[in-house]
Amino acid sequence: MTRKLSMRPSINLVISEPYITVEEFCRRTGYKKGTVRQMYRENRLPIRNKDGVNGLIEINMLALIIEAAAGHEITMQA
């Protein structure tokens, strides 16, 4: 009896929070708030569309994971 084994590993990612606040992003990454805000202004961080000028900035964690995976031969399936 022979089995066909896939040479491609299977990785499952669980995203508990697709959007997080700047404060939570800083806590998780160790970045300072000013650095994160600068990254946001330079469009280096994907954010959820905010309501108005003073709206809450929420960082799109799903977009960051997809961006990180894009550099590798990973197939995304929902």
| Tens-digit pLDDT profile for residues 7-25 | 666 677 788 899 999 999 9
Identity at 38, one-letter amino acid code: Q
Name which of 63, 29, 28, 67 is nearest 47 in CA terms: 63
This prediction has a pTM of: 0.72
Q: What is the pLDDT of residue 75?
A: 62
Name which of 8, 2, 1, 46 is nearest 25 in CA terms: 46
In the structure encoding, which two tokens stand for residue 15, read together?
């995203």
Q: What is the pLDDT of residue 43?
A: 93
Q: What is the pLDDT of residue 12?
A: 75
| Tens-digit pLDDT profile for residues 46-77 | 998 877 777 889 999 999 988 887 776 656 56
* CA pair distance 54, 56, nearest whole angstrom: 7
